[in-house]
Amino acid sequence: MSSMCIAVTGSEGFVGSRLVKKLDSPEIDLVKIDIRTGIDLLSWENLSHLDGFDIIVHLASKSFVPDSFNHPREFLHHNMLSTLHVLELARKNKARVIYMSSYLYGEPNKLPVDEEHPLKPHNPYATSKLAGEQLCRCYQSDFNVPVTLFRPFNIYGPGQNEAFLIPSIIRQMKDGHVELMDPRPKRDFVYVEDVVDAIALEIRMKREGMNIYNLGYGKSVSIQEIVDLLNELYGKPLAVHFKNEYRKNEILDIVADIGKIKSELGWQPKYSMRAGLNRILRESRLI
């Protein structure tokens, strides 16, 4: 089998580090692009010498939604410019791009949400990801760069930044008391290993044009249900207090339609919420 060269941006991050591990084989040459490997995606001078790859998987981004409200210019600048540089590298190398976008559908018109649903980004982070998608469309239509867009709903798993919901609950569990805002919102959570499997399947495909896939489990789980599951798996009484503080414009239920990725990629999520939380608790040494 002839070797393939794959560049991964955000190679040291939550998803990227797992993808790099999965792709580690004699048939694949990996180029790791990350600020922690000494390559700054925002500096074209840092990137312009890179060549020889067939696919660029673009995972690097600023992604914590609350921070995007506090630092919108920084989020938009970082996520748009890094995507522009990735696309320009792909154009120069005649490479294919796999772009990790985000949930862009806002308050759903219907459930489950499919890829044809109108795009209504409802925070600066999502806006930066939609801008990245528009750049992808430009490079695909004007320069024939093949692009696959993944729209993940809520990724979770061991090693995620503690600012995110599930890691923050786990951290508080270690302290013996959990305080949360609102038990009601329901989200479609997809386990990080399932996300990596989807990217690995896409890498094997022969692609032209633009392809778009939702990434979710296909079922939503409320914050209250997550707490109840963690309580059950933990096996000890857990002190949980909900402040019942409701965020303005909170979306109460989000479910991904994953029919397209199932039929076209043969992808199926392997980890239920119970299985995913069990893995997290084990790796956190709480059970």
Share of the chain above pLDDT 90, in %: 91
Q: What is the pLDDT of residues 59-73, one digit of tens each?
A: 999 988 889 999 999
d(CA 266, CA 262) in angstroms, rounded, equals: 5
Tell me which of 42 and 66 has the higher pLDDT.
42
The two three-digit tokens of residue 11, written as one number: 């190679």
Query: What is residue 29's three-state secondary structure?
Result: strand
Coil, strand or helix at 28: strand
- Average pLDDT of the residues of the chain: 95
Cβ atoms of 269 and 258 within 8 Å: the answer is: yes
**What is the predicted pLDDT for the residue at 2?**
61
Alpha-carbon distance 252 to 245, whole Å?
Answer: 14
Residue 218 has pLDDT above 80, yes or no: yes
Checking if the pLDDT of 274 tops 80, the result is yes
Verdict on whether the full-model pTM lies above 0.75: yes
Give the pLDDT confidence score for residue 1 in this predicted structure. Answer: 43
The pLDDT confidence band at residue 248, using thresholds 50, 70 and 90, is confident
Among residues 238, 258, 88, 245, which one has the least CA distance to residue 189? 258
Contacts of 167 (CB under 8 A, 6+ apart): 156, 160, 161
Instruction: Name the strand (E) or helix (H) holding 244.
Output: none
Token pair belonging to 140:
């695909």
Q: Which amino acid is it at 27?
A: E
Report how far residue 165's alpha carbon sits from residue 148's, in angstroms, rounded to the nearest whole number.
28
Provide mean pLDDT across the span 188-208.
97
Amino acid in position 12: E
Burial class (CB in 10 A: 0-12, 13-18, 19+), 122: middle
**CATH number of this structure's domain 4-157+190-216+256-266:** 3.40.50.720
Q: Is the peptide bond before 146 cis (omega within 30 degrees of 0)?
A: no
Q: Where are the domains of the chain?
A: 4-157+190-216+256-266
CB atoms within 10 A of CB 227: 18
Structure-model confidence comparison of residues 192 and 245, the more confident one:
192
Nearest to 140 by CA among 199, 68, 212, 198: 212
Q: What's the mean pLDDT in 193-199?
A: 98
Pairwise CA distance, residues 234 & 236, whole Å: 6
Confidence of residue 247 (pLDDT cuts 50, 70, 90): confident
